[in-house]
Structure 1
């Protein structure tokens, strides 16, 4: 059984990121305001590193990236592009994608959600994982901003 993913495989945002992985670094810097300590490059990695089996289904993020910092350690980023609000995915699957990616790749990992303007506040909500002591907050950018960034960069 093929893993279920959040977005359609012909989604223009996914196609853009597959073709130009460096846009992930630009999105972190220009759209989210991250001050990158040193030059970094992004590289697609096996999305299977986010895969999990739950309730008789296989689940995986849409894309996964290694963020290599020159002279520094790599970090990892799972990417989801949900076509609609998926409360259960945001609350349960998204934290798992990041945790599994970090565990399987051996380093810190996060999750980037790419959503429509109307879903930014929903996607940015912090999820309480385990009695509120452990929390997870996705990074969020809009589809339009990422597509515009692709045209500019």
Structure 2
């Protein structure tokens, strides 16, 4: 359920984790206390095993804010629509990361332009009382941001 390890978007974020903060601020409008920094953490903190398979997010980051606690961000960059992953795995990645790191966590999906609306849909986890909405940016927007910053 993970993107290819040679995915240029994942490679860019791995080499330049500061782009995570810029993406959240510029592309999603998050008001982050400055300075804020993103630091890669072990994706093993998003790892789960079920039905004979092992899954994890593609990347994970700690978001450190001046004068505040850290928050956590699991990142996925699916090469195509993965309805089962979005509905079942993505919420687990965020929940496991928050549980294992001890703080609030979210999931950022990096998708193609045509998949942005699909990926942003809120997922009902269980019987509808618990919902999960991924953060979503497009690959093109992130790559353009990487050239701009």
Any residues of structure 2 matched to 1:45-84 within 5 Å, and which?
45-84=41-80
Q: Which residue of 2 aligns with 1:108?
A: 104
Gaps of 5+ in 1: none
CA-to-aligned-CA distance 1:15-63 (integer Å, 9 cap, x gap): 0000000000000000001111342100000000000001101000000
Query: How high is the TM-score relative to the length of structure 2?
Result: 0.98
Kindly report the root-mean-square deviation, in angstroms, between the aligned alpha carbons of the 2 structures.
0.7
Greater than 4 Å deviation, 4+ residue runs? none
Gaps of 5+ in 2: none
Contact 2:98 2:105 in 1 (8 A): yes
Q: Which residue of 1 aligns with 2:119?
A: 123
Q: Could you tell me how far 1:6 is from its partner in structure 2?
A: 1.8
Q: Which residue of 1 aligns with 2:4?
A: 8
Contact 2:74 2:108 in 1 (8 A): yes
For 2:90 and 2:35, the matched residues in 1 are separated by 27
For 1:104 and 1:67, the matched residues in 2 are separated by 15
SS in 2 for 1:150: helix
For 1:121 and 1:54, the matched residues in 2 are separated by 28
Q: Which residue of 2 aligns with 1:17?
A: 13
Q: State the number of aligned residues.
A: 149
SS in 2 for 1:77: strand
For 1:38 and 1:20, the matched residues in 2 are separated by 18
